[in-house]
Amino acid sequence: MKNRLKVLRAERDWSQQDLADRLEVSRQSVNAIEKGRYDPSLPLAFRIAELFAMRIEEIFLRDAD
Protein backbone atom coordinates (compact mmCIF):
# COMPACT_ATOMS: atom_id res chain seq x y z
CA MET A 1 0.00 0.00 0.00
CA LYS A 2 1.37 3.41 -0.94
CA ASN A 3 1.25 6.23 1.57
CA ARG A 4 2.13 9.88 2.10
CA LEU A 5 3.57 9.38 5.57
CA LYS A 6 7.13 10.44 4.73
CA VAL A 7 5.95 13.66 3.08
CA LEU A 8 3.58 14.50 5.92
CA ARG A 9 6.30 13.83 8.47
CA ALA A 10 8.81 15.98 6.56
CA GLU A 11 6.33 18.86 6.33
CA ARG A 12 6.33 18.95 10.12
CA ASP A 13 10.11 18.54 10.36
CA TRP A 14 9.69 15.33 12.38
CA SER A 15 12.23 12.54 12.35
CA GLN A 16 11.07 8.95 12.10
CA GLN A 17 11.77 8.67 15.82
CA ASP A 18 9.62 11.75 16.54
CA LEU A 19 6.71 10.18 14.68
CA ALA A 20 7.30 6.80 16.30
CA ASP A 21 7.21 8.39 19.75
CA ARG A 22 3.94 10.17 18.96
CA LEU A 23 2.39 6.92 17.70
CA GLU A 24 3.94 4.75 20.43
CA VAL A 25 5.57 2.40 17.91
CA SER A 26 9.19 1.70 17.01
CA ARG A 27 11.18 3.79 14.55
CA GLN A 28 11.60 0.61 12.52
CA SER A 29 7.82 0.33 12.21
CA VAL A 30 7.59 3.89 10.87
CA ASN A 31 10.38 3.15 8.40
CA ALA A 32 8.68 -0.04 7.19
CA ILE A 33 5.33 1.72 6.73
CA GLU A 34 6.95 4.59 4.83
CA LYS A 35 8.73 2.17 2.49
CA GLY A 36 5.56 0.15 1.90
CA ARG A 37 7.02 -3.00 3.43
CA TYR A 38 4.42 -3.06 6.21
CA ASP A 39 0.73 -2.11 6.21
CA PRO A 40 -0.34 -0.70 9.57
CA SER A 41 -3.16 -2.27 11.53
CA LEU A 42 -6.48 -0.46 11.35
CA PRO A 43 -6.13 0.99 14.88
CA LEU A 44 -2.65 2.30 14.00
CA ALA A 45 -3.91 3.75 10.71
CA PHE A 46 -6.62 5.60 12.66
CA ARG A 47 -4.01 6.95 15.12
CA ILE A 48 -1.87 8.15 12.20
CA ALA A 49 -4.85 9.84 10.56
CA GLU A 50 -5.86 11.49 13.84
CA LEU A 51 -2.31 12.72 14.46
CA PHE A 52 -2.21 14.40 11.04
CA ALA A 53 -5.88 15.54 11.26
CA MET A 54 -6.66 13.76 8.00
CA ARG A 55 -8.79 10.88 6.78
CA ILE A 56 -7.09 7.49 6.38
CA GLU A 57 -7.80 7.65 2.64
CA GLU A 58 -5.83 10.89 2.38
CA ILE A 59 -2.72 9.20 3.79
CA PHE A 60 -2.92 5.62 2.52
CA LEU A 61 -3.50 4.86 -1.16
CA ARG A 62 -4.35 1.51 -2.69
CA ASP A 63 -1.85 0.11 -5.17
CA ALA A 64 -3.21 -0.16 -8.68
CA ASP A 65 -3.44 -3.86 -9.55
What is the pTM assigned to this prediction?
0.90
34: nearest Cα among 48, 55, 46? 48
- Any alpha helices (H) in 1-65, and if so which ranges? 5-11, 16-23, 27-34, 42-51, 56-59
Domain ranges of the chain: 2-54
Fold of 2-54: 434 Repressor (Amino-terminal Domain) (1.10.260)
Query: What is the chain's alpha carbon radius of gyration, rounded to the nearest angstrom?
Result: 11
With bands split at pLDDT 50, 70 and 90, how would you rate the model's confidence at 62?
Answer: confident
With contact defined as beta carbons under 8 Å apart, do 2 and 61 qualify? Answer: yes
Tell me how far apart the alpha carbons of residues 51 and 63 are, in angstroms, rounded to a whole number.
23
pLDDT digits (tens, 9 = 90+) for 28-47: 999 999 999 999 999 999 99
